[in-house]
Structure 1
Amino acid sequence: MVEAWIRWLLLHGVDRFYLRSFARRGLLTQIIFGQDGSLGASSAIEQVRQRGRLTKLSGVYVTADHELCRRILRDNRFGAVAPNRPAVPKPVRWALAKTDRELPNLTEPPSMLVTDPPEHDRYRRLVGHAFSPKAITKLEKRAVEVTDELLECLESKPQPDLIEDFAAQVPVAIIAEILGLPADMHSTMLKWGYNSAPLVDRALTWTAYRHAIEELAEVKQYFHQRIDEITAEPGTDLLTVLVTSGELNRREQMANAALLLDAGFLTTVNLLGNGIALLTSHPDQLELLTAQPELWPSAIEEILRYDGPVRTTCRVANCDVDVGDQRIKSGSLVLLSLTGANYDPGVFSDPERFDVTRFNAADHLAFSGGVHGCLGYRLARLEGVIALRSLFERYPDLRLNGPPTPRRLANLHAYRTMPATLTGG
């Protein structure tokens, strides 16, 4: 556990001490920790916007400008923030290498999430076919079947938890089938995903970090066993592709399998949960969807814009880069407020208004962009339309039993529980 504590200190502890102590009242801390817990453009984001399109806070460049965020996400001169990047001092990189337990942490290489080309291209090429338009079209029928089965089960639960009993179950069933994992693993997969999700936050507490890596040790053990089984008897699933391609070593296989597992359902769970909360609190918008069901794809885009699952992302300059009228030095960090971009009044008129008819809602950056854009965005959109439309068509009088309980995460906006009463049918 000493090694784990050293890694926490280097990856999270020092930043946490700095942000909580020296920058406690600063805008950077407020944006990173999401202190006001509100949807939309918080006061901190608006203050950043007032400072200009790109501002520097406590040594970090920050932008809430839609055009700049989009440009930086697509600019290959900026890379993902990984603990082994060259700008990290050599003693820190040495200590991290010495304490590395090779856990399948989605925020550390060789996870595709934090690996830049050419390695990133190699990983993405292997799995991209499973999320192509053709592959997603083939999954549509199965997504409908899974949704219908779950809605049937809700009949026996007149007061279900719409996160546990519905929103989580739709995407975990689909990603399990894509990866070739058995149905009896669904609850375990959810546990792994929920308990490791805090790792996407910055400046974690020691307790949160320890709990997350303890979960990853279990994930590692499972995938070691599963990969051995596939090596002996290959299947036709995506995990088999990773294992039998001959292009990845064992660590790369585990890291990216775990990433696909987590990313394959966490984003969609949040999309569905956030969407239910928004639509039940905006009955006029739900009435529009009831009268004009062809608006559901637009509604999903507006949910993603208005209450996207991820609040911020970060990039590092791989060389000196001119952005607007400022030069960003190589090794500098740029914090992109995706929430701020999605509420940019220069792009979205009256951005604080939830409007399922918004003509340009799909211009949101909820799925990030560039080489690190969400691989499963088509699947998330498909599951969102099918699941939410089917839920409200079957239970048109559905109501929540009070405010849903949020997950205590800084960078992911999601709900932990959502008790409801099903009065339709």
Structure 2
Amino acid sequence: MLFRAWIRWMLLHGLQRFYLLWLARRGDPLGQIAVGSDRLLGSSQYIEEIRQRGRIPAMSGVRVTTDYELCRLILRDRRFSVVTPNHRALPKPIRWVMTKTDLGLPNLAEPPAMLVTDPPEHTQYRRLVGQAFSPKAIVKLEERIVEVTDDLLERLQSKPRPDLIVDFSAQLPVAIIAEILGLPAEMHSTLLKWGDTGAPLLERGLAWSTFRHAIEDLVEVKRYFDHHLDGLAAEPGDDVLSLLVKGGELTRREQVANAALLLDAGFLTTVNMLGNGIALLTRHPDQLELLAAQPELWPRAVEEILRYDGPVRMTGRVASCDVDIADQRVKSGCLVLLSLAGANYDNAVFPDPERFDVTRANAADHLSFGSGVHGCLGAALARLEGAIALRALFERYPDLRLDGPPIPHPLRNLHAYRSMPAKLHAD
């Protein structure tokens, strides 16, 4: 399997990695963004350089847009498909090799994970589990989210220098999604490990070592969920994963792939959102003062955090036919990169976008959760967890401050922090 994995890495990441490094050396903004030369805030010089080239300029063999309306339109337009490893727009020899090197693992960036499937398959997967993540269903979890948050904050008290990522931001969402999926509490540390190694698969241009470690963990993920779903098939419960096996609508591969996706997507975004939010709020004490005086603003503050420093910076779509958009012809098979970070800083939609403002009236219009049929299934859960957890943290520890600069995660497209040491009380 290792040789097939290497061939797959070379086609998916290796060649692209070399190309992106070459672009970066030439000063190309896409290359600079891809190799991590910038922290990818919407105000970055590279995103602004792309914006200056037009609404959807052709760059380095692809189309790119930082325009809010175009990003939203393309995300909602059925003439654009999700990007898959063997998309029909690729040359036939490459598609043949991709088929032959299919590892059969639950990779959240490959079909049949619903993140990278189009209707009608996507519709079927989402229908099976969607009701469990509806706003009405999520509201019922509020009491449990408060309980877990309070317990985590109490535990922080005993740590002289707590890490607000490791000890708090990661622990809350993994506890909640594990309960939703019916997974035992003793699995939390393993689930976090799988999420940490699996998240890079959403990037492009990965190093071989990173890809290999992710694949090795996916073997464990597949083994675990195969066994777990066997048990649910024999005796289904009232958890979300039971919905995947009831009725026998899905193949076992579809079940495992989407079980793994629900796990990773259920906490990765929220971990990153909480970490980014803590960093932002500690850098803007005036906004914390506003929130202390008007706690009803916390849900809006979460939206502004998502707009200002969203956890996903860019996504892509492939035109399934020739499309005329913004006075440009996008040819069938053309890859279109959508800068969500750039869209969230579009001055036409968000005036004075570089200002972090928890009172911003239209902050919830951000595209950090996507839009259209692929809009984030767990958006309501992430929003609720964010509002409860951040408010509780800063109300419980009003003198909280970071103990040195937070350590950023090495990922480029997923913007997050790996570590955030803090002091809870004033000296």
Take 1:187 and 1:315, find their aligned partners in 2: how far apart are those partners? 34
In the TM superposition, what is the alpha-carbon distance from 1:101 to its structure 2 partner?
A: 1.8
Contact 2:40 2:313 in 1 (8 A): no
| Residue type of the alignment partner of 1:138 | K
Matches within 5 A, 1:344-355: 344-355=346-357
Structure 2 counterpart of 1:169: 171
Unaligned ranges ≥5, structure 2: none
In the TM superposition, what is the alpha-carbon distance from 1:187 to its structure 2 partner?
A: 0.5
Structure 1 counterpart of 2:16: 15
Structure 2 counterpart of 1:55: 57
Structure 2 counterpart of 1:186: 188
**TM-score normalised to the size of structure 1?**
0.98
Unaligned ranges ≥5, structure 1: none
| Residue type of the alignment partner of 1:257 | A
Structure 1 counterpart of 2:298: 296
Structure 2 counterpart of 1:95: 97
| Residue type of the alignment partner of 1:282 | H
The number of aligned residues is 424
The structure-2 alpha-carbon separation of the partners of 1:345 and 1:34, relative to structure 1 and needing over 3 Å to count, comes to farther
In the TM superposition, what is the alpha-carbon distance from 1:32 to its structure 2 partner?
A: 2.9
Contact 1:27 1:57 in 2 (8 A): no
Structure 2 counterpart of 1:329: 331
Take 1:372 and 1:232, find their aligned partners in 2: how far apart are those partners? 31
Q: 2:422 aligns with which of 400, 420, 423?
A: 420
Contact 2:21 2:35 in 1 (8 A): no
Q: Deviations over 1:198-222 (max 9, x none)?
A: 1111111111111111111111111
Matches within 5 A, 1:116-195: 116-195=118-197
Q: Helix, strand or coil for the counterpart of 1:245?
A: helix
In the TM superposition, what is the alpha-carbon distance from 1:22 to its structure 2 partner?
A: 5.0
Q: Does 1:407 align with 2:427?
A: no
Q: Deviations over 1:270-315 (max 9, x none)?
A: 0100000010111000010001001101100000000000000000
* RMSD over equivalenced CA pairs, Å: 1.1
Range with greater deviation from structure 2 (392-401 or 15-24)? 15-24
Contact 2:344 2:366 in 1 (8 A): yes
Matches within 5 A, 1:14-413: 14-21=15-22, 24=25, 25-413=27-415
Identical columns (%): 71
In the TM superposition, what is the alpha-carbon distance from 1:233 to its structure 2 partner?
A: 2.0
Take 2:372 and 2:226, find their aligned partners in 1: how far apart are those partners? 31
Contact 1:400 1:419 in 2 (8 A): yes
| Residue type of the alignment partner of 1:232 | A
Q: Deviations over 1:62-113 (max 9, x none)?
A: 0000111011111111110001211112211211121212110000000101
Take 1:402 and 1:88, find their aligned partners in 2: how far apart are those partners? 47
Take 2:314 and 2:278, find their aligned partners in 1: how far apart are those partners? 22
**TM-score normalised to the size of structure 2?**
0.97
Contact 2:408 2:417 in 1 (8 A): yes
Contact 1:32 1:312 in 2 (8 A): no
Q: Deviations over 1:142-167 (max 9, x none)?
A: 11111111111112113211111110
Range with greater deviation from structure 2 (200-209 or 388-397)? 200-209
Q: Deviations over 1:110-147 (max 9, x none)?
A: 01011000000000000101111211111111111111
In the TM superposition, what is the alpha-carbon distance from 1:23 to its structure 2 partner?
A: 5.8
| Residue type of the alignment partner of 1:2 | F
Range with greater deviation from structure 2 (272-281 or 94-103)? 94-103
Take 2:114 and 2:344, find their aligned partners in 1: how far apart are those partners? 25
Q: Helix, strand or coil for the counterpart of 1:116?
A: coil
Q: Does 1:2 align with 2:11?
A: no
| Residue type of the alignment partner of 2:306 | L
